[in-house]
Amino acid sequence: MSKTYKICLIEGDGIGHEVIPAARLVLEATGLKFEFVEAQAGWETFERIGTSVPEATLEAVTHTDATLFGAATSPTKKVPGFFGAIRYMRRKLDLFANVRPAKHHPVPGSRPGVDLIVVRENTEGLYVEQERTYLEGEIAIADTVITRKASARIGEYAARLAASRPRKQLHVAHKANVLPMTQGLFMNTVLAEAARFPEVKTQDIIIDNCAMQLVRNPERFDVIVTTNLFGDIISDLTAGLVGGLGIAASGNIGTRHAVFEPVHGSAPDIAGKGIANPAATILSGVMMLEHLGEHEIARRVEAAVDKVLEEGPRTPDLGGSATTLQFAEAVARAI
């Protein structure tokens, strides 16, 4: 008897309600055995019960083999008592590595030859969300926190990942020239960890130069490790290199738990229309299958996604007219 994987599904808000059921349909078509546990999180949950991540959701995430998350809305102004669902789970469950591959897929605007992974430190930096204002809002200050411990952990993760890939190349992207204490601690700690992997070719790169090089020569990059805010920004850039948010997948990996999610948000402009591209969520599901050790099935699902992206039917964001469900059904058939 093959194993039954217990998977927590969190739709969240907006198009999360559309892309998660689509990804579920594809997972069910793999022939693997799944037991799905549904949990709530996000803005709608906050409006309903006053918290964006209920205890029951944390329980569900920690008592399953892995979690697939849709997207959650965050208001742009401060709402008392509200905290961003995915950022909260990252910190609370210590999902320290945000892994965002950018790999060429057969879609308009995707640059052939790109096959890189951004590894973003996921628990600290500027995203500790410690902000305050002085002088009646005339001055605003945000803290950035860098620890040796978190830098060493993400450094080791990234170096190990680079060591497992054919090119074995690691870039440490930073701004230590301007912020030698915080960014310097990150850079030096990561470089020290990477030195323990002599087969990995490691070099540091200043983040703004990294952004420019990524636009001009993205093919030369393999694994890039960086701090939280920089990783957030450059991983959207790298998503743009390979066809955009409709196909960009990610994983939030900790030592004990993992939450996989598309890079995109809740897309209020198209939510409820049934036209969201589920490819990013399905490819996040592929990362989840890899994480579970189902490498062969993961490759089959990814190939099925590529086949449908190439031959259609495509969703409107990629120039087609398929619905979310039609795309997912085509992938399920192609597996």
The residues that touch Mg ion, with contacts defined as CB under 5 A, are 232
269 counts as catalytic: no
94 counts as catalytic: no
Q: Which of 3, 33, 208, 273 is catalytic?
A: 208
157 counts as catalytic: no
Residue 266 interaction partner, one of Mg ion, ligand NAI, none, beta carbon < 5-8 Å per kind: ligand NAI
Q: Should residue 280 be labelled a site residue for ligand NAI when binding is judged by CB under 6 A?
A: yes
Please give the DSSP secondary-structure letter assigned to residue 93: T
* 308-311 long-range contacts, CB within 8 A, separation 24+: 308/334, 309/105, 309/106, 309/107, 309/247, 309/279, 310/106
Which residue in the shown chain puts its C-beta closest to ligand NAI?
265
> Which of 186, 160, 52, 185 lies closest to 99, judged by CA?
160
Q: Are 197 and 155 in contact (CB under 8 A)?
A: no
> Which of 310, 332, 333 lies closest to 320, judged by CA?
310
Q: Should residue 52 be labelled a site residue for ligand NAI when binding is judged by CB under 6 A?
A: no
- Cβ 122 to Mg ion, closest distance in Å? 12
- Cβ 276 to ligand NAI, closest distance in Å? 4
Residue 90 interaction partner, one of Mg ion, ligand NAI, none, beta carbon < 5-8 Å per kind: none
Residue 246 interaction partner, one of ligand NAI, Mg ion, none, beta carbon < 5-8 Å per kind: ligand NAI
236 counts as catalytic: yes
Tokens of 91: 């910190």
For the chain, how many residues are written? 335
**Window contacting ligand NAI (CB under 6 A); options: 26-34, 57-65, 147-155, 259-267:** 259-267
Q: Which amino acid would we find at residue 220? A: R
> Which of 23, 72, 158, 301 lies at the binding interface for ligand NAI (CB under 6 A)?
72
Residue 124 interaction partner, one of ligand NAI, Mg ion, none, beta carbon < 5-8 Å per kind: none
Q: Which residues contact 207 (CB under 8 A, 6 or more apart)?
A: 173, 174, 175, 226, 230, 234
Please give the DSSP secondary-structure letter assigned to residue 124: S
204 counts as catalytic: no
> Which of 270, 309, 328, 330 lies at the binding interface for ligand NAI (CB under 6 A)?
270
Q: Which of 13, 157, 175, 306 is catalytic?
A: 175
φ and ψ at residue 193, rounded to 5 degrees: -65, -45
Ramachandran category for residue 136: left, alpha or beta (phi over 0 → left; psi -120 to 50 → alpha): left
φ and ψ at residue 141, rounded to 5 degrees: -130, 135
- Cβ 19 to ligand NAI, closest distance in Å? 6
Active site residues: 127, 175, 208, 232, 236
Residues that bind ligand NAI (CB under 6 A): 15, 19, 71-74, 86, 245-246, 261, 264-270, 276-277, 280, 317
